[in-house]
Amino acid sequence: MGYRDVDILSADFIRKFQEYKNESEKEIRRILDEYLKKFEIEESEEEVEKENDDTDDSEKIGEILDPEEHEI
């Protein structure tokens, strides 16, 4: 797995690397790859939540701009 600059500059990524710096290169890669996979999953979940929040905001804006169209 390749590492992006944003990943390498992450404080948690650096801490993980420092914690396991005496391990073999293969072991370090495995540990860091697992960390990044976990981070990507959390990041994806946050994006989904943000998309849901954006939808709610746009619906609210529509109700404000044209309340008759959005009556129950």
For residues 24-39, one letter each, b for 16 or more C-beta atoms within 10 angstroms of the residue's C-beta and e for the rest, the string is eeeebeeebeebbeee
For residue 63, the model assigns a pLDDT of 62
Domain ranges (residues) in the chain: 5-67
| Tokens at 48, concatenated | 């989904």
pLDDT band at 24 (very low <50, low <70, confident <90, very high): very high
**Residue 20 or residue 41, greater confidence:** 20
pTM across the whole model: 0.46
Which band of pLDDT confidence, cut at 50, 70 and 90, is reported for residue 15?
confident
pLDDT value at position 13? Answer: 78
Where is pLDDT greater, at 13 or 33? 33
Report in angstroms the alpha-carbon separations of 48 from 3, 54, 56. 24, 10, 13
